[in-house]
């Protein structure tokens, strides 16, 4: 499936020209972002919670404590909403009203399922770990039985999803451009990885492992 299949719920009502139609755009947003927001209705009250996730093909895995009421509510046969946003820039315009942001965002709707098969659950944890901290699954201690029992993993299919983005400069009124009374442009926003900060209780002799050091953003490394 190379294209998104818009439904009534995922078809944009405004700024339709900013919709992305390719499934690759959805994957790109999910793969670059690190945290999603899970929207559920619990006891009649809407809740939106920051949640760790990882993608394997067209399945999104999310996790949390087995005691998390939000995760239990998410797997009771009701629809959930997962959103991810990447902020790419602040758009300064000649009028305050036209100020905007450049962004890439994804919205996924559907019914999540609790992962009960032990092999898939462990696979989901592996996917989650690789998304947030690639290389740690092979480097750190494996999940033990107690930890495995204390964590819940849920899966959400990416079938019903939309992607919206803005990657433009200022969109000013002609009269404001002609007046030339204010600066206009884009201030880029970027996520960077700084220098690793070793734990204070590490014994002497440890160096930062390659799977951590390799993620340091070049500009951060140059500032050392």
Tens of pLDDT, residue by residue over 194-215, are 999 999 999 999 999 999 999 9
* 210: three-class secondary structure by DSSP: helix
Q: Give the integer Cα–Cα distance in Å for 209 and 214.
A: 9
In DSSP notation, 137-150 reads: HHHSPPP-HHHHHH
pLDDT at 17: 83
Model pTM above 0.85: yes
State residue 218 phi and psi, 5-degree precision: -55, -40
Q: Tell me which residue of 129, 152, 124, 140 sits closest to 57, measured CA to CA.
A: 124
- Res. 220 pLDDT band, cuts 50 70 90: very low
Asked if residues 122 and 143 have their Cβ atoms less than 8 Å apart, the reply is yes
**Which residue in the block uniquely carries the two structure tokens 């160096």?**
207
pLDDT at 119: 98
Q: What is the 3-state secondary structure (H, E, C) of 12-79?
A: CCCCHHHEECEHHHHHHHHHHCCEEEEEEEECCEEEEEEEEEEEECCEEEEEEECCCHHHHHHCCCCC
**Which residue in the block uniquely carries the two structure tokens 């991810």?**
84
How many whole angstroms from its chain centre is CA 206?
Answer: 32
**Which residue in the block uniquely carries the two structure tokens 């000013």?**
172
Q: What mean pLDDT do residues 147-152 have?
A: 96
pLDDT tens for 39-56 read: 999 888 999 999 999 999
Asked if residues 223 and 198 have their Cβ atoms less than 8 Å apart, the reply is no
**Which residue in the block uniquely carries the two structure tokens 């790419």?**
88
More confident residue, 94 or 4: 94
What domains, with CATH codes, occur in the chain? 16-172+183-189 (2.30.110.10), 192-224 (no CATH)
């Amino acid at each position: 499936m190379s294209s998104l299949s818009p439904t009534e719920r995922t078809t944009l009502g405004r700024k339709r020209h900013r919709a992305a139609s390719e499934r690759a755009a959805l994957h790109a947003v999910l793969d670059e972002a690190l945290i999603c927001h899970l929207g559920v209705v619990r006891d009649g009250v809407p809740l939106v919670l920051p949640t760790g996730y990882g993608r394997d093909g067209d399945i999104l895995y999310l996790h949390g404590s087995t005691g998390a009421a939000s995760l239990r509510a998410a797997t009771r046969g009701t629809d959930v909403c997962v959103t991810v946003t990447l902020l790419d820039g602040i758009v300064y315009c000649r009028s305050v009203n036209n100020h905007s942001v450049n962004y890439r965002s994804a919205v996924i709707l559907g019914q999540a399922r609790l992962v009960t098969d032990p092999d898939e659950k462990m696979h989901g944890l592996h996917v989650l770990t690789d998304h947030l901290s690639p290389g740690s699954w092979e480097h750190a201690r494996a999940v033990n039985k107690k930890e495995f029992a204390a964590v819940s993993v849920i899966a959400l299919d990416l079938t019903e999803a939309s992607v919206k983005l803005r990657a433009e400069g200022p969109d000013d009124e002609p009269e404001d451009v002609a007046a030339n009374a204010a600066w206009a442009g884009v201030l880029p926003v970027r996520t960077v990885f700084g220098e690793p900060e070793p734990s204070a209780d590490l014994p002497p002799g440890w160096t930062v492992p390659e799977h951590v050091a390799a993620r340091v953003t070049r500009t951060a490394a140059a500032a050392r």
